[in-house]
Structure 1
C-alpha cells in the first residue's frame, strides 16, 4: 500500500537535487508547454513562469521504499515521477488524477484519498475511497 509522506513546501531551487530540478522543469512544461529551467520555474521574478504561489513535493512510499515523487503546483495541478527519475507516470489536472496505467492509477488514487489530496467532488473519488477502505 502506497502512502504520501514527507510533504515539503518548495520555495527555492536551492532546496532541490539535480533530478528534482529536472522534474520541476518538466512539471512546468507539462503545465504550459514552455521549456524553462528550474530556476525560472521557482523564481520570485514576476516576469518568470513561476510555480511559487503553490509548490509542494511529496514522497510516495510503500513498505518504507520510495516509489514516486509527487509535485503539486498552481493549486490544482501536479506531476508524479518514478522516484529518483524524470519519468513522469501521472499528472494532476484540475485536482483530478490522470494516469494511463490502471494499476498505478488505483495505487496513486487510493493513496491520494488517504492523504486527503483528492477532493471528494472528483469523479473518481468514490472508487478510490472504496479501494482505500477495502469495500466493493
Structure 2
C-alpha cells in the first residue's frame, strides 16, 4: 500500500539533490512547455511568471521504501516521478490524477485519497476511496 509522507515546502534549489533539481525543471516544462532551469522555476521574484508557486515535494512509500517522488505546484498541478529518477509516471492536472498505467493509477489514487490530496469532487475520487476502503 502506497502512502504519501515527508511533505516539504520547496522554495530553493539549495534544498534539492541533483535529480530533484532536474525534476523541478521537468515539472515546469510539463506545466507550460517552457525549457527553463530549476532555479528560475523556484525564483523568489513574485513577478516571474515561470515560478512554480506553492511547490511541495512528497515521498510516496510502499512498505517503508520510497517508490515515487510527488511534486505539487500551482495549487492544482503536479508531477510524479519514480523515486530517484527523472521518469515521469503520473501528472496532476486541475487536481485530478492522470496516469497511463492503470495499476499505478489505482495505487497512487488510493494513496492520494488517504492523504487528503485528491478533492472529493474529482470524478475518480469515489472509485479510489472505495478501493482504499476495500469496498466494492
CA contact (8 A) 1:80 1:90 kept: yes
* TM-score of the pair, normalised by structure 2: 0.98
CA distance in 1, matches of 2:30, 2:39: 16
How many residue pairs were aligned? 135
1:33-65 deviations in whole A, cap 9, x for unaligned?
A: 0000100000012235101x3000000001011
RMSD of aligned alpha carbons: 0.7
* TM-score of the pair, normalised by structure 1: 0.98
Question: Which sections of structure 2, spanning at least 5 residues, go unmatched?
Answer: none
CA distance in 2, matches of 1:95, 1:44: 24
CA distance in 2, matches of 1:21, 1:134: 37
Question: Which sections of structure 1, spanning at least 5 residues, go unmatched?
Answer: none
CA distance in 1, matches of 2:4, 2:108: 9
CA distance in 1, matches of 2:12, 2:37: 13
CA distance in 1, matches of 2:48, 2:67: 35
CA contact (8 A) 1:61 1:68 kept: yes
Matched, 1:3 2:3: yes
Matched, 1:43 2:36: no
